[in-house]
Structure 1
Amino acid sequence: MPSEPISWSPVSEAELPELSGLLTAIEHFDEPSERHTIEELQEAYAEHGADPARNARLGRDSGGTLVAYGWLHPFPADTDPRRVFLAGGVHPGWRRRGIGHELLDWQIARAGEWYNENRRPEHGPLELRIAVEDKLADRAALIADRGFSAVRWFADMTCRFDELPSGLPAVPELPGIRIEPYSAEVSEEVREAHNEAFSDHWGSQPIPQIRWQEDLSAASTRPEWSWIAVDTDSGRIAGYAMSSAYQQDWEFQGFREGWTDRLGVRRDWRNRGIAKALLIASMHSFADAGLDAAGLGVDTDNPSGAFGLYARLGYERGETQVMYARTEHGS
């Protein structure tokens, strides 16, 4: 148990800058590849179904200093399973006092409450998920101690433009396919294309309109760097590449990088070079914006040969994120 009692309270919007300060201290010590921004915290606080008054809490010492936090991020539109992602952390100076276990126990219990409050006959089991960078062994040990198991590995990959021996390749011309910039007018068509393209991917469930729009309005999103592939005969969107800029990471990684958040090709148009063309178009957008590199994340168990495609384009593997999960069946 903690050597000094910790008082817990819900997170208010006014406390988000203070929470940002705690996260900065945690990141300074742990040196993760992904950093936070205050804008991301504000977006998480306001997103549909967030309910931070019940799903997030802060821990303070006897002097009122913020030393820990926990935040549940449910996906209300999920059916089977019902996913809840757990985020949290303890200030480095307050670790190894039992606070992390206490916090995780609360998160597990609160997730069960959320599941039972919102349960419908068509719903499958509750699945709790926590993403942990591979190098953070203490964090992994803590969650494994509460019954979480590693279920998937996701690798970050980066292509440095100055390391391409022949420079950026030209966007290939594809028979029957037109590569064109993304525009807000096709947002709903791209969402439908994404849900179809990822229907056979591990852990994926359809993204509802409200979450899609929230993602597109995020401060990190860069629609001007995003592209679509259009079938010239039917006019349907065959594929897409949606981009972002995580500027908070640039100083620590030493280069400026455009990030491909979502890349997908509908099943009927696969194996025609569309993903490659979309990635190259995105890389040109990043380079034209004065960036140094392109990045993306890939499921290491992806059966589509994605690793080979990315490697041929000059992407190299970096940090690995491990997804841990624990399944609950409700009460």
Structure 2
Amino acid sequence: MIPEQNRFESDPDEALEADPRLPAGWTVDTPDPADRFDVARLTHLLRDHERHGRGWAGSGVDDVLVEVSEHGLKMRENVVVRDPDGDIHAWGSVHDRSVGRMLFVHVVQRDLPGDVADRCSEVLFDWAAAQARSVGAARGLETQQIDTGAFQGDDRQARWLSGAGFERVRTWWQMSRSVTLDEVELVPDPRHWSADGVVFRLVRRTDASLPDEGDLREVHEVLEGAFVDHFNSSEETFEEFVHRLREDPGHRWDHWWLAELTDEDEPQPVGALVGTVSESAHGPDGSYVSYLGVLEAARGRGVAKGLLRTIIADAARRGRDRVGLEVDADSPTGAAGLYTSMGWTTKYVTESWHLDVPVG
């Protein structure tokens, strides 16, 4: 399943147009995913950014390759700022996420001199605005949103974002829950079980062990319906949805679940959970809830709790020690209360910052 063509401007010189006014000998270009030094440098920058923002680094080479590899570039574009020796000191990445929504990664080396760091940041913002105009025009929009994030408490990032016209619009709790081996008994079988007229099951597999496309479309439709009125929801095609989730280094088909009501003759899909693997180099892996959605008509039937119990039991069966997730701190659905009641606690906090760019 391949999404539409890349809608970005691939030449940084065309995107930036004006002189970037960097120090003598510094240049702006694109990273080379085949160059191990470029990939290693981007990984170092990203991990240092995470360590400063939340106290530890979680990303690795695979996360960088999601952004810069040939496969990733179907929906992304990248720019880097290099010193005269060719070393990378700043990195920007944009992702054509869905209609009207462009994600933006903005990373600048932490220990650069202040004036140089400020100028690198300005270059990344100028480039991102140009990419927003490009992707917005290709989608036929009048305004294109840039959606980027920051760790709460990162004053340098907040200063840059505010200075570039971005508005802080949302706060997100990054939560985690410990898993014990005995919790494998939370549900009869995480692959397929039922309770109170609801069936919880993994997406089916074909004879070739690929996921059943009908089930994948049901997951997509449930999540689109469940989040239609949520903060910053935007339409995403089925092809874009599957392509994006498959890019995640932790993607596994046996971490996709559907919940179906059995009140009628035919089962009705009403809930979906997409999980991933959180790999660890220093201990057991964890599971992560990338998406959890329940259609409004089925809320109050224990669907969300049943799906959460399923991924916890699945994690225990696999010998994992935790399940993580993200929740909107301002969500009106009460999701945070459900997670807290089931043992999740907040490990760190992130923020969403938005800028609407006129396409014309």
3-state SS of 2:251 partner = coil
In 2, Cα distance between the equivalents of 1:304 and 1:169? Answer: 28
**2:207 matched residue in structure 1:** none
CA drift at 1:225: 3.0
Specify whether residues 103 and 26 from structure 1 end up closer, same or farther in structure 2 by C-alpha distance, changes over 3 A only.
same
| Aligned length, in residue pairs | 316
Q: 1:247-271: per-residue Cα shift (whole Å, max 9, x none)?
A: 15x64xx763210100011111111
Structure 2, unpaired ranges of 5+: 1-20, 189-193, 205-210
1:137 aligns with 2:130: no
Identity %: 21
What does residue 50 of structure 1 align with? 75
5+ residue gaps, structure 1: none
**1:215/1:221 contact within 8 Å kept:** no
Describe the SS at the equivalent of 2:225. helix
Contact 1:158 1:295 in 2 (8 A): yes
Match of 1:307 in 2: 336
Query: Alpha carbons of 1:64 and 1:277: their partners in 2 closer, same or farther (altered >3 Å)?
Result: same
Change (3 A) 1:181 1:113: closer
Greater shift, 85-94 or 261-270, is seen at 85-94
Quick one: distance in 2 between partners of 1:199 and 1:17?
A: 42
1:87 pairs with 2:87: no
**Residue 10 of structure 1, aligned match among 11, 17, 30:** 30
Q: 1:307 is paired with a residue of what secondary structure? A: helix
Q: Give the equivalent residue in structure 2 for 1:61.
A: 83
Shift of 1:200: 1.3
Structure 1 equivalent of residue 275 of structure 2: 243
Report SS of the residue matched to 2:250: coil
CA distance in 1, matches of 2:307, 2:324: 13
Mapping 1:33-182, distance limit 5 Å: 35-44=58-67, 45=69, 46-47=71-72, 49-50=74-75, 52=77, 56-75=78-97, 77-78=98-99, 82-96=100-114, 97=116, 98-116=119-137, 118-120=138-140, 123=141, 125-162=143-180, 170-171=186-187, 174-182=195-203
Deviations 1:122-151 (CA, angstroms, capped at 9, x unpaired)? x35211111111132211111111111100
Work out the CA distance in 2 between the residues paired with 1:323 and 1:181.
32
Q: TM-score, normalised by structure 2?
A: 0.80
> CA deviation digits over 1:139-178, x for unaligned, max 9?
111111111110011111111125x9x9577239532211
Match of 1:317?
346
| Corresponding residue of 1:256 | 285
1:223-268 CA deviation, whole Å, 9 max, x = no partner?
32332211222312110111011315x64xx763210100011111
The answer to whether the 8 A contact 1:182-1:227 is kept is yes
Segment of structure 1 superposing worse, 18-27 or 226-235: 18-27
Bigger shift: residues 140-149 or 209-218: 209-218
Matched AA of 2:125? L
